[in-house]
C-alpha cells in the first residue's frame, strides 16, 4: 500500500515538472488606453500611440455580459510616405480578449497608432481596454 502511494506521488511530481517546462516566458500586459460607454447599443473606442509595445490585445467587458461586435486597427506612418495598416473585426460574448497581429513597423522611426472599438448588442455598460506587451 505504501509502495503504491510513493509511486503515485512520483508520477504526480514528474507530471508537475513537465507542465512547467514548456511554458513560455510570462510577459506582463499594460493597459495603454481604455474607454467606456453606457446605453442602448453603447459603443466605446480606445486608441493610443504604440510606443515601445510590439504586441497588443483588446479586452472588452460589459455589464451585463452580452454579445459585442468590434474591431481593431494598427496603422503606422514612417518617414516620408511609407505607411502600413492591419485590421480585423471580431465578435463574441463578454468578457472577451482578442489578440491583434504583432506590430510590423515599416521603419524604426515610424509612428504607430492602435485603435479598438466595441459595440454592445443590447443595453448596458461597455469597457474597451487596449493592452500592450
Structural domain contains residue 10:
no
The answer to whether residues 56 and 93 touch, using CB atoms and an 8 Å cutoff, is: no
Domain count, the chain: 1
Residue 54 has pLDDT above 90, yes or no: no
Burial level of 8, CB count in 10 A (0-12/13-18/19+)? exposed
Q: 4 or 46: whose pLDDT is higher?
A: 46
CATH number at residue 96: 2.60.120
Structural domain contains residue 15:
no
Structural domain contains residue 82:
yes
Mean pLDDT of 40-45: 98
Neighbours of 1 (CB within 10 A): 5
Structural domain contains residue 5:
no
Structural domain contains residue 94:
yes
Structural domain contains residue 35:
yes
Structural domain contains residue 19:
no
Structural domain contains residue 123:
yes
Task: Of 80, 70, 67, give the one whose Cα is nearest residue 110.
Answer: 80
pLDDT digits (tens, 9 = 90+) for 3-21: 444 444 443 433 344 444 4
Which domain range does residue 32 map to? 27-132
pTM: 0.74
pLDDT digits (tens, 9 = 90+) for 68-104: 999 999 998 877 766 788 999 999 999 999 999 887 6
Task: Please give the pLDDT value at position 133.
Answer: 87
Amino acid at each position: 500500500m505504501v509502495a503504491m502511494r510513493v509511486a503515485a506521488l512520483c508520477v504526480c511530481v514528474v507530471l508537475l515538472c513537465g507542465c512547467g517546462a514548456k511554458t513560455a516566458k510570462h510577459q506582463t500586459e499594460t493597459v495603454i488606453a481604455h474607454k467606456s460607454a453606457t446605453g442602448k447599443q453603447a459603443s466605446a473606442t480606445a486608441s493610443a500611440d504604440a510606443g515601445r509595445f510590439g504586441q497588443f490585445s483588446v479586452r472588452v467587458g460589459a455589464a451585463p455580459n452580452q454579445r459585442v461586435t468590434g474591431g481593431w486597427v494598427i496603422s503606422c506612418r514612417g518617414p516620408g510616405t511609407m505607411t502600413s495598416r492591419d485590421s480585423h473585426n471580431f465578435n463574441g460574448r463578454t468578457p472577451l480578449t482578442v489578440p491583434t497581429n504583432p506590430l510590423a513597423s515599416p521603419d524604426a522611426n515610424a509612428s504607430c497608432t492602435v485603435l479598438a472599438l466595441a459595440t454592445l448588442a443590447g443595453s448596458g455598460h461597455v469597457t474597451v481596454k487596449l493592452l500592450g506587451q
